[in-house]
Amino acid sequence: MEKIKEIIVVEGKDDLKRIKESFDCTVIETKGFALKIETIKLLKKALKYKGIIILTDSDKSGNIIRQKLVKHLGENNKIKHAYLNTKDTEVESVNKTEIIKILKKVGTLSKNNQKDLLTLSDLLELRIIGENSKENKQKIQKHLCLGHGNNKKLLERLNYFKITKTELKRQLTLTNSPRRT
């Protein structure tokens, strides 16, 4: 499966599933109009790193969400726009062939021959996931501007930004050390 380097921004979880069927990539949902601050921070971080692709439904709501994203993120040459070919179509209802064609036009493609930098075992070992890990996980997500999500999403985002095990250990030490007053 081909890999897209940019983060792809979609409206909802069904859109996310449709994209993941076609490419190995990191996908962020806006969850409709509810653009959370953590999501904006994550997307700003992605812009500095590799860029983003905005792919929203081709209806009025999709255009409003696209405009909101650009407003919050600013004009940037690392924001790419992917558009569906027909009006009033939802990303989730577009066939796989069409999604591949649309994203190949704007995405930076590469063969997926790179091993992930971190594994779920690493996160377990560092007590970022698993039993009694909630506080550490939240600190890492907040401090590294990774947004909220399940363990799999956290791992995907850590690997997207190439955060190493050593860096995670350092961040945990910093966030868990007592503050001086």
Q: What tens digit of pLDDT does each residue of 40-71 get?
A: 999 999 998 889 999 999 999 999 999 999 99
**Dmax (CA) of the chain:** 59
Q: Check residue 179 and give its pLDDT.
A: 60
Domains of the chain: 2-111 (3.40.1360.10), 120-175 (no CATH)
Q: Are strands 52-55 and 7-10 parallel, antiparallel or unpaired?
A: parallel
Q: Check residue 180 and give its pLDDT.
A: 52
Q: DSSP 3-state assignment of 10?
A: strand
Q: Check residue 113 and give its pLDDT.
A: 58
- Give me the mean pLDDT over the 131-159 stretch: 92
The answer to whether 53 and 24 are in contact (CB under 8 A) is no
Mean pLDDT of the chain: 90
Q: Check residue 128 and give its pLDDT.
A: 95
Closest CA to 8 of 45, 52, 67: 52
Torsion-angle region of 68 (φ positive above 0: left; ψ -120 to 50: alpha; else: beta):
alpha
The residue whose two tokens read 């997307």 is 43
- Give me the mean pLDDT over the 74-101 stretch: 91
Where does the pLDDT of residue 9 fall: very low under 50, low under 70, confident under 90, or very high at 90 and above?
Answer: very high
Where does the pLDDT of residue 112 fall: very low under 50, low under 70, confident under 90, or very high at 90 and above?
Answer: low
pLDDT at residue 109 tops 60:
yes
Q: Check residue 164 and give its pLDDT.
A: 92
pLDDT at residue 181 tops 60:
no
pLDDT at residue 177 tops 90:
no
- Give me the mean pLDDT over the 79-91 stretch: 91
- Give me the mean pLDDT over the 10-39 stretch: 92
